[in-house]
């Protein structure tokens, strides 16, 4: 267990995925990516798991990012290999992804990242793919890829502006600077800021608050918020998530209301020309009349 670079444990409906390479400041190599992606799939398929928490061992860093030495070795091996274009194309489609961020973002379960120390590059991109981020005081967050000659991938340039706004995201990505956890909390990059010794308890407390809700409700709320954020307000208000029966009930209710609207409209059209029928009586306007009918439709 101690030799494993990524640990996985399920306890009280919470899956814990722990980076366990403190001697290298939890730099993420390809084997770790493969393990994290596998554990994400395992947690997603486990009906006993409702919340997934990502954390790291060692006091100095959540993760300093991707393992540059490992990447250099992989690039050298790729140059040495003289495979056919067909084999290269097949390897490209079956290759291990560069970071686990896409697998984390694809999860339907609620995800929480507990950040401390250096949280840089791939480490920060992993946390951006999570739903909630809690940081320990003194943590340093940033995306340093620009200083290595490339841009932040795996959603770094897309998720970051959605959290902190375009101007601040540009500053963070273009400068490659590290930002103190207090500043990250101020700009909304992290949800909570706690003392280091309270980081895991804070994560457990938040997870337990989520576990008070029904599992399906948690899933559909998450889906509605994320998908609704990509729509206009009007589209988001019309968006429906939930079991098929919930959708069918909505359609039945809407159908009954529409039927009443048509009947009411037809009746008004037939009688509106005969004004004498309404003399001496109190008549509701069509909007009031229609609303009173629709209000009486039982769900």
Q: Is CATH 3.90.226.10 the classification given to domain 6-211?
A: yes
Where do the CATH 3.90.226.10 domains begin and end in the chain?
6-211
Q: Is the pLDDT of residue 96 over 90?
A: no
Least confident stretch, 58-67, 116-125, 154-163, 278-287: 278-287
d(CA 3, CA 1): 5
Structural contact between residues 95 and 75, judged by C-beta atoms closer than 8 angstroms: no
Average pLDDT over residues 103-113: 97
The pLDDT of residue 264 is 62
| Dist CA 5 CA 86 (whole Å) | 33
Q: Write out pLDDT tens, residues 201-210.
A: 999 999 999 9
Q: Whole-angstrom Cα distance, residue 247 to residue 299?
A: 12
Of 265, 257, 256, the C-alpha closest to 294 is 257
Supply the pLDDT for residue 260: 62
Tens digit of each residue's pLDDT (9 = 90 or more) over 39-74: 999 999 999 999 999 999 999 999 999 876 655 455
Alpha carbons 36 and 9: distance in angstroms, whole number: 12
Higher pLDDT: 47 or 260? It is 47
CA distances to 67, 145, 230, 285, 298 from 162, in Å: 27, 19, 10, 46, 40
Question: Which neighbouring-strand residues pair with 119?
Answer: 63, 141
The pTM (predicted TM-score) of the whole model is 0.75
Please, which pLDDT band fits residue 93 given cuts at 50, 70 and 90?
very low
Nearest to 65 by CA among 13, 141, 2: 141
Give the residue carrying structure tokens 């809690």.
Answer: 134
Residue 190 phi, psi dihedral angles, 5° rounding: -120, 150
Asked if the model's pLDDT at residue 278 lies above 60, the reply is no
Spell out the residues 6+ positions from residue 231 whose beta carbon is closer than 8 angstroms to its own.
239
Whether the per-residue pLDDT at 236 is higher than 80: the answer is yes
Mean pLDDT, all residues of the chain = 81
CB 242 within 8 A of CB 220: yes
Q: Residue 290: its pLDDT value, please?
A: 44
pLDDT at residue 180 above 70? yes
CA 142 → CA 28, 125, 168, 171, 243, distances in Å?
16, 9, 12, 10, 40
* pLDDT tens track for 109-148: 999 999 999 999 999 999 999 999 999 999 999 998 888 8
Query: Would you list the DSSP string of the chain?
Result: -TT-SEEEEEETTEEEEEE--GGGTT-B-HHHHHHHHHHHHHHHH-TT--EEEEEESSSSEEE--B-HHHHHHHHHHHHH----HHHHHHHHHHSPPS-SHHHHHT-SSEEEEEE-BEEETHHHHHHHTSSEEEEETT-EEE--GGGGTS--TTTHHHHHHHHH-HHHHHHHHHH---EEHHHHHHTTSSSEEE-GGGHHHHHHHHHHHHHTS-HHHHHHHHHHHHHHTTS-HHHHHH---S-HHHHHHHHHHHHHHHHHHHHHHHHHHHHTT-GGGGTTS----HHHHHHHHHHT---
């Amino acid at each position: 267990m101690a030799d494993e670079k990524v640990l996985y444990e399920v306890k009280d409906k919470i899956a814990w995925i722990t980076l366990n390479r403190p001697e290298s400041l939890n730099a993420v190599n390809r084997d770790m990516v493969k393990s994290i992606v596998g554990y994400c799939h395992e947690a997603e398929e486990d009906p006993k798991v409702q919340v997934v928490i990502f954390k790291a061992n060692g006091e100095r860093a959540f993760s300093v990012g991707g393992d540059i030495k490992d990447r250099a070795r992989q690039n050298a091996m790729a140059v040495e290999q003289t495979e056919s274009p067909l084999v290269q194309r097949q390897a490209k489609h079956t290759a291990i992804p560069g970071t686990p961020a896409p697998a984390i973002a694809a999860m339907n379960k609620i995800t929480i990242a507990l950040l401390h120390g250096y949280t840089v590059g791939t480490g920060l991109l992993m946390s951006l793919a999570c739903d909630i981020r809690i940081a320990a005081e003194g943590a340093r967050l940033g995306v340093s890829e620009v200083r290595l000659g490339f841009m932040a991938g795996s959603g770094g340039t897309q998720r970051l502006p959605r959290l902190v706004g375009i101007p601040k995201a540009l500053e963070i990505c273009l400068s490659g600077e590290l930002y103190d956890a207090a500043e990250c909390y101020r700009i909304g990059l992290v949800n909570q800021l706690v003392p280091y010794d309270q980081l895991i308890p804070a994560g457990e407390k938040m997870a337990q608050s989520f576990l008070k809700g029904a599992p399906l409700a948690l899933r559909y709320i998450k889906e509605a918020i994320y998908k609704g954020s990509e729509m206009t307000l009007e589209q988001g208000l019309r968006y429906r998530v939930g079991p098929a029966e919930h959708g069918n009930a909505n359609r039945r209710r809407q159908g009954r209301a529409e039927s009443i609207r048509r009947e009411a409209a037809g009746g008004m059209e037939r009688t509106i020309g005969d004004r004498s029928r309404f003399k001496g009586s109190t008549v509701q306007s069509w909007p009031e009349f229609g609303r009173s009918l629709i209000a009486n439709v039982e769900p």
